[in-house]
């Protein structure tokens, strides 16, 4: 049975009765059968008991928490059951060995740029992404790779502004807090994707704190940040463009003040609904010969990384082929 | 030469089984890169284990290596292993043979018989630890040791068996 993501947007209580969870809020009580849950995304204030935590841990279900502004606050990452000391050592080896680290770091950026290029060409936007890919080849340091990534993304946002309606232009990328609507959407989407990737990593033997492009001590689950570079253009950015272009989201979906803009509850609901649809969308995988969802593509990326770390098969970053 | 695995049996029944299924799977499983937790087929196997032979005494689990589905105690000790289908008969045969060998060698129990039960096929197969079988098994155990100690082996070609394997996406993505 395929397990689902649950997104909780209204305040309430999560309760356990036997092996079923119930979400109780002002509208009533809704059961969430434990075997149907893959991850929970909590965007509201949620009361949970230790019995709930124990059950989630037993079933290996992570729960991601976001504060009332929609910023990621942390995850309940259940006890690891998939441990491979062997792999962790190899993961660390690839970090310590500078050449090995550079290879992976630049692969992540390479994939990211290719995927940005895909989005741009879909909208018929001429771009210089190829030059940036060329620049990437000569990078000898992580900072240089990061620099190319930064330039690529700045150019990319600038180009996207050409096709975005006036109120929804990105302009300068601002975070905490995002200063306009486009930035609010990007921040919201990126942190959602980050949590999705944490769930995928949890289901593999990879250690989420050992990363290559980002510094492992930068943030807790920095490997999720590495992988998210590949998927941001294809999952988050495309979704945002879709929502804006189809007029599915407008000013009433935001909470605004002089210096910030954030999605309100209604806006968040629209966003996560469409986001979840996207994660479930499938494409036929050329190599496996089966249909694979976008969410599963993230897992496959983890597998490819594991194979690379074990030797024998070189990692090739995910590049959208459609 | 006697391998380490042979001196002190530290091989798991599942490893013996996987040796016949696929070397890649054996290696990954042995290095704790396990994928079975999401497999519907494995889930089905567990259900089959739980739902059949309910009157029998429950599983025989020894030293975290052996996990037979049930045992029957009489004049002889009967060790039973329940399987869904007989497609990979050789794997089942050696897995059970290994249980018998382990009980003999590590626990000193010799009056013993093995049975593979296929409840869905209404079939049952008896297995005995003959000197000849024992010799064949020893060779298998040595091979397992070599595979596990070696580098990660990539599968050579996609075969029919891959289709229902929990590692399919891992190997071929």
Q: Give tens-digit pLDDT for A53-88.
A: 999 999 999 999 998 888 898 999 888 888 888 899
Rounded CA separation A17/A60 (Å): 18
Contact B173 A285 (CB under 8 A): yes
> How far is the CA of B157 from the CAs of A303, A306, B22, in angstroms?
18, 20, 11
H helical segments located in chain B: 4-7, 13-21, 23-30, 40-51, 89-107, 131-149, 168-172
Instruction: Spell out which residues of chain B touch residue A85, defining contact as CB-CB under 8 Å.
Output: 32
Percent of chain A with pLDDT over 90: 62
Q: Which residue of A has its CA nearest to B168?
A: A288
- Chain A interface includes B152 (CB < 8 A): yes
Pairing of strands B70-73, B77-82: antiparallel
Q: Which residue of A has its CA nearest to B152?
A: A310
What pLDDT digit, counting tens, does each position of B128-152 carry?
889 999 999 999 999 999 999 999 9
pLDDT tops 90 at residue B6: no
What pLDDT digit, counting tens, does each position of B24-51 carry?
999 999 999 988 887 888 888 888 888 8
- Chain A interface includes B168 (CB < 8 A): yes
Contact A84 B170 (CB under 8 A): no
Residue among B32, B152, B172 minimizing CB distance to A311: B152
Closest CA to A196 of A302, A59, A81, A267: A302
Residue B114, both tokens? 């093995």
Contact B43, B35 (CB under 8 A): no
How many CB contacts within 8 angstroms connect chain A with chain B? Answer: 50
Which of A206, A295, A303 would you mutate first to test chain B, the one with the most B CBs within 10 A? A303
Q: How many CB atoms lie within 10 A of CB B77?
A: 17
* Over residues A208-216, mean pLDDT: 91
Q: Which residue of A has its CA nearest to B41?
A: A1
- Chain A interface includes B151 (CB < 8 A): yes
Contact B169, A288 (CB under 8 A): yes
3-state secondary structure of A10: coil
pLDDT of residue B149: 92
Determine the distance in angstroms separating the CA of A224 from the nearest CA of chain B, rounded to an integer.
19
What pLDDT digit, counting tens, does each position of B94-135 carry?
999 999 998 888 888 888 888 898 888 888 888 888 999 999
pLDDT of residue A262: 86
Closest CA to A208 of A216, A299, A42: A216
Contact A81 B37 (CB under 8 A): yes
Contact A306 B38 (CB under 8 A): no
Sign of CA dihedral A189, A191, A196, A197: positive
Contact A15, A22 (CB under 8 A): yes
The more confidently predicted of residues B37 and A299 is A299
pLDDT of residue A234: 94
3-state secondary structure of A69: coil
* Over residues A109-127, mean pLDDT: 92
Contact B169 A288 (CB under 8 A): yes
What pLDDT digit, counting tens, does each position of A160-205 carry?
988 988 888 888 788 888 888 889 999 999 999 999 999 999 999 9
The more confidently predicted of residues B4 and A130 is A130
pLDDT of residue A170: 83
Determine the distance in angstroms separating the CA of B167 from the nearest CA of chain A, rounded to an integer.
10
* Over residues A28-35, mean pLDDT: 90
pLDDT tops 70 at residue A219: no
Structural element, H or E, at residue B71: strand B70-73
Chain mean pLDDT for chain A: 91
Rounded CA separation A48/A52 (Å): 6
The terminus-to-terminus CA distance of chain B in angstroms comes to 39
pLDDT tops 70 at residue B9: no
Chain mean pLDDT for chain B: 85
Determine the distance in angstroms separating the CA of B145 from the nearest CA of chain A, rounded to an integer.
17
What pLDDT digit, counting tens, does each position of A6-27 carry?
999 999 999 998 889 999 999 9
Contact A203 B38 (CB under 8 A): yes
Pairing of strands A12-17, A261-263: unpaired
Contact A244, A253 (CB under 8 A): no
Residue among B31, B151, B169 minimizing CB distance to A312: B151
DSSP single-letter state for residue A110: H
pLDDT of residue B119: 84
Residue among B31, B151, B169 minimizing CB distance to A300: B169
pLDDT of residue B3: 56
Residue among B32, B151, B173 minimizing CB distance to A311: B151
Pairing of strands A254-256, B123-127: unpaired
Q: How confident is the model at residue B1 (pLDDT cuts 50, 70, 90)?
A: very low
């Amino acid at each position: 049975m395929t397990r689902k993501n649950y997104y909780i947007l209204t305040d309430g209580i999560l309760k356990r009765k036997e092996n079923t969870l119930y979400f109780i809020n002002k509208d009533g009580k809704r059961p969430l059968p434990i075997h149907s849950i893959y991850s929970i995304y909590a965007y509201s204030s949620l009361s949970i008991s230790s019995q709930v935590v124990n059950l989630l841990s037993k079933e290996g279900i992570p729960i991601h928490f976001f504060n009332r502004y929609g910023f990621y606050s942390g995850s309940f990452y259940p006890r690891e059951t998939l441990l491979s000391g062997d792999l962790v050592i190899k993961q660390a080896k690839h970090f310590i060995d500078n050449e090995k680290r550079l290879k992976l770091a630049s692969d992540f950026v390479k994939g990211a740029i290719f995927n940005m290029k895909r989005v741009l060409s879909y909208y018929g936007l001429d771009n210089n992404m190829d030059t940036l890919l060329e620049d990437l080849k000569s990078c000898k340091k992580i900072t240089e790779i990061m620099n190319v990534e930064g330039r690529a993304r700045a150019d990319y946002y600038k180009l996207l502004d050409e096709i975005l309606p006036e109120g929804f232009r990105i302009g300068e990328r601002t975070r905490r807090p995002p200063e306009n609507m486009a930035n609010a959407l990007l921040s919201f989407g990126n942190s959602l994707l980050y949590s999705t990737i944490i769930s995928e990593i949890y289901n593999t033997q990879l250690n989420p704190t050992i990363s290559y492009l980002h510094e492992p001590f930068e943030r807790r689950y920095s490997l999720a940040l590495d992988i998210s570079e590949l998927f941001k253009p294809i999952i988050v950015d495309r979704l945002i463009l879709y929502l804006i272009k189809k007029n599915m989201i407008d000013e009433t979906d935001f909470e605004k003040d002089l210096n910030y803009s954030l999605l309100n509850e209604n806006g968040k609901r629209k966003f996560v609904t469409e986001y979840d649809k996207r994660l479930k969308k499938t494409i036929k995988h050329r190599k496996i010969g089966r249909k694979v969802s976008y969410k599963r593509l993230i897992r496959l990326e983890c597998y490819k990384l594991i194979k690379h770390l074990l030797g024998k098969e070189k990692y090739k970053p995910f590049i959208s082929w459609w | 030469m006697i391998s380490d695995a042979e001196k002190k049996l530290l091989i798991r029944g599942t490893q013996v089984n996987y040796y016949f299924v696929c070397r890649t799977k054996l290696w990954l499983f042995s290095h704790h890169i396990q994928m079975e937790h999401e497999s519907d087929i494995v889930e089905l196997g567990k259900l089959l284990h739980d739902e059949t032979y309910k009157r029998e005494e429950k599983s025989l689990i020894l030293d975290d290596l052996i996990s037979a589905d049930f045992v029957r105690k009489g004049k002889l000790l009967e060790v039973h292993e329940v399987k869904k289908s007989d497609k990979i008969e050789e794997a089942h045969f050696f897995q059970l043979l290994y249980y018998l060998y382990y009980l003999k060698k590590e626990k000193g129990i010799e009056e013993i018989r093995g049975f593979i039960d296929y409840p869905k096929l209404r079939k049952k197969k008896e297995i005995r630890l003959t000197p000849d079988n024992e010799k064949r098994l020893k060779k298998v155990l040595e091979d397992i040791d070599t595979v596990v100690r070696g580098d990660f082996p990539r599968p050579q070609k996609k075969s029919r068996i891959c289709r229902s394997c929990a590692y399919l996406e891992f190997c071929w993505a």
